[in-house]
Structure 1
């Protein structure tokens, strides 16, 4: 018996096949459109949120005023910057600079368990150059800003000599202490602290450099608060024909990104019994101009223990040397390289983890220099390596001259016979020290650093010729042009 089956509705199947593709894929298109709309909406919301972040660079958690020196309080409003500031405890070496953590056993007199490497142990010639001065007792590689106060408190130089309160100027947050000591007058407080013994002045300060030293708490604009720089830059500008210069009202924002660093990273000396801190810029900031200022004033830091020469100790003239380099001439500020901008979400902030650009080449260098990191590092190390080699030759020349003067003195030479050689030592030693104490290992102004060291070597050799009764030919050196 045959089974009867329902005939297929061929018309229905045919009609379904003939439906437009749009109708067949409509559900998928609808789902995709919904997903795209949701994604677009999420993107727009994200953009809006980031724009709001950019409009509000910080949230006012606490009210700041001109009396708050604790960086942790400022950090409540500026946590990103404060996090960077706290990381200045890092100790990292570059090939020719930086510092490494050297363990030590704490004592009652010095509770530090970690210090930086001793530069006196690395180069014994420094002891000869500084014989009779406190730096021949203790001189270590500089550490980050986090250590600037404690390293000054516990250096053995405090044992070798009684340091004045002037030293606090560049080793602590001083704006609030100065104003308190001066009854609201910054300059009066500074003058009073200068004359205090260091241990007494130390009791008046609490923190290393802090936010308030460089920022106005109301506007957050950069400002200069160190009296030494306020007077020094005014003297420098006056030497250039610009009278009554006020850095906080007349400098550009880009200039301020270097001036706040130049408050401390400079050459200086203590003037008179009042121990007034002076930046010797009245004739200019080139080493020759600074030396001419010292010659005019007759200043000497100490009498050399071996040669009897009245000599000078250069400090840390990064600001002066940077001013002679191509980066300064191109408008590049200290902060551009040592505190480059960084992106945190939508916010563009200055990195307050102040360090060598070699430890942050991507953001510090490659913003302008579009070459691989290894290439840029090699360029810097080539400059610094040549500087180190020339610096070694200059150090040899200084120590050789000191040795010759000492032997002539021991042999009974009169002061008159030693005068020319001692004058040569005073100059060449200061020039070498100027290049040695400057912390870029020649990179801030490579050609200027080479000129300084070459001049020092020439002066040292002339001092040796003077001891031997030889005639000194004209140097042939051309004085650097004035700014």
Structure 2
């Protein structure tokens, strides 16, 4: 009996220790080999602040009517929250009925290293043709070392096919660049604008065939007669810009001086033993003013004041464009309701399309007021010209057809703007919460709930 009793203790110890031993054997090499960089990456969980951009800019709800961007649009948090924020967003929806279509799995592309893995396993179109929620249980890691490096090494990598193709399009194939440009490209594979190709199962594509300026991308879209959705108010075929940070940086003074994303947002720091390493807690440049800014900027206070002035100017110009666009959408509606035809409306509708594209390209960028304010303000000024010309067209057409005066809604708050487009946010939140409780919390990896 005593022998059996002892044997049971041994078996119990093995059962307890086995998972621990397995975990030790499979411990991520990056965590041990690059411990300081790993600690910096892990510290992005401290970057919890996020702003409800629709509450700050309610006019955006009208501009994005017909698109899920009018449902929810928050400023980004730290990299640690990438999977959770995508999972919980109202934009990614809920469970898909059998035979139905939901958001493309392409929405996972820049949130996790599981995306390149799944692309290799399923093929690009197999991955992109899947539903976002159906692949949710497959997502087990948030933005990580292998998104930017050959796993287990410091060598830079560009694992996403859409980025490899795009960099080659503009004459910057990744393997032929110096380490500085490669560093910028690893950020640029995600901090960039893109769209989903409808003819290729919603595969991610960067529209750079003619170049990566707002004008060149617009030419590409217009040539293809591409649009993401038809605006329900003005009937405009719409375009959407998505954080074109790499594009705007590439034409900036910083780029001319070989100052990249890494230089400012992931600077070289020194540990207590005097060893240098790259800080992987991606953060604002001003935090590291002495290391990264002081070489060119004499005073932190002066630079801060310049950035605040740029930001205020961009914000004021952006709001001006937004308000003009809201009026244009409703003035187009009045003309349509009055009996206008496409030949009469085409010029004005294209004016809305092009003006809103430039507004979006200027303001969707993270920190455009710091990266390239000159380009951003030029885009907004051009947008004012274009939307003003469009409004003149709608005024003339309305006069010709005897249309009633346009009715502009109250968009002083997000709730009022969403009510104007018929979006029931409380109902959407209720449905999303039920999906989170029944699906995400029970069947997805815990990384999908980080911070919630």
What TM-score do the two structures reach when normalised by structure 1? 0.72
Whole-Å separation in 2 of the counterparts to 1:410 and 1:324: 43
1:357 to 282, 285, 295: 285
Residue in 1 that maps onto 2:179: 253
**Aligned position for 1:383:** 310
- Which one has the largest radius of gyration? 1
Q: Is the 8 A contact 1:226 1:263 kept in 2?
A: yes
| Contact 2:116–2:159, Cα closer than 8 Å, also in 1 | no
Q: Is the 8 A contact 1:175 1:213 kept in 2?
A: no
| Distance (whole Å) between structure 1 residues aligned to residue 220 and residue 119 of structure 2 | 31
Equivalent pairs counted in the alignment come to 364
Aligned to 1:142: 76
CA–CA distance in 2 between the matches of 1:365 and 1:201?
A: 42
Please say if residues 258 and 333 of structure 1, whose CA atoms lie closer than 8 Å, have aligned partners that are also in contact: yes
- In 2, the alpha carbon distance for the partners of 1:411 and 1:175 equals 49
Cα deviation 1:13-37 (Å, max 9, x = unaligned) = xxxxxxxxxxxxxxxxxxxxxxxxx
Displacement over 6 Å in runs of 4+? none
- What are the Cα deviations for residues 428-469 of structure 1, in whole angstroms up to 9, with x where unaligned? 011101112111142211111111101111000010111223
Measure, in 2, the Cα distance between the counterparts of 1:246 and 1:442.
Answer: 28
Tell me which residue corresponds to 1:279: 206
Higher relative contact order (CA 8 A, sep 6+): 2
For 1:297-328, what per-residue CA distance to the aligned partner results, in whole angstroms no more than 9, with x for missing partners? 11100000110110111111111111121101
The within-5 A match list for 1:324-343 is 324-343=251-270
Aligned residue number for residue 45 of structure 2: 89
Contact 1:420 1:463 in 2 (8 A): yes
1:400 maps onto 2:334 in alignment: no
**Partner Cα separation in structure 2 for residue 343 and residue 166 of structure 1:** 38
* Partners of 1:443 and 1:469 in 2: CA distance: 40
| TM-score (structure 2 length as normaliser) | 0.77
- For residues 280 and 454 of structure 1, the distance between their equivalents in structure 2, rounded to whole angstroms, comes to 23
Question: Any stretches of 5+ residues in structure 1 without a counterpart?
Answer: 1-67, 93-99, 101-115, 183-187, 238-244, 471-483
Q: 1:291 aligns with which of 218, 221, 243?
A: 218
Match of 2:353 in 1: 426
Q: 2:196 aligns with which of 260, 270, 277?
A: 270
Give the CA deviation at 1:370.
4.7
SS at match of 1:277: strand
**Mapped contact 1:165–1:195 kept (Cα < 8 A):** yes
SS at match of 2:277: strand
Shift of the 374–425 alpha-carbon distance from structure 1 to 2, 3 Å rule, reads: same
1:172 paired residue among 109, 112, 115: 112
Distance 1:176 1:349 in 2: 27
C-alpha RMSD of the superposition: 1.9
Query: Take 1:201 and 1:419, find their aligned partners in 2: how far apart are those partners?
Result: 41
**Alpha-carbon offset, residue 73 of structure 1:** 4.4
Structure 1 residue 83 displacement after superposition: 1.0
Cα deviation for residue 218 of structure 1 reads 5.6
Equivalents in 1 of 2:387, 2:245: separation in Å? 24
Q: Aligned equivalents of 2:128 and 2:120: distance in 1?
A: 14
Partner of 2:423: none
Contact 2:331–2:395 (Cα < 8 Å) also in 1: no
1:225 is matched with 159
Inter-partner Cα distance in structure 1 for 2:370 and 2:299: 19
1:151 maps to 2:85: yes
> What is the aligned partner in structure 1 of residue 103 from structure 2?
163
Equivalent of 1:191 in 125, 128, 143: 125
- Structure 2 residues not aligned, in runs of 5+: 1-25, 95-100, 398-452
* Other-structure match for 2:388: 461
Superposition map of 1:74-85 within 5 A: 74-85=30-41
Give yes or no for the alignment of 1:181 onto 2:121.
yes
CA distance in 2, matches of 1:395, 1:179: 38
Residue 473 of structure 1 corresponds to: none
Deviation at residue 175 of structure 1 after TM alignment: 6.0
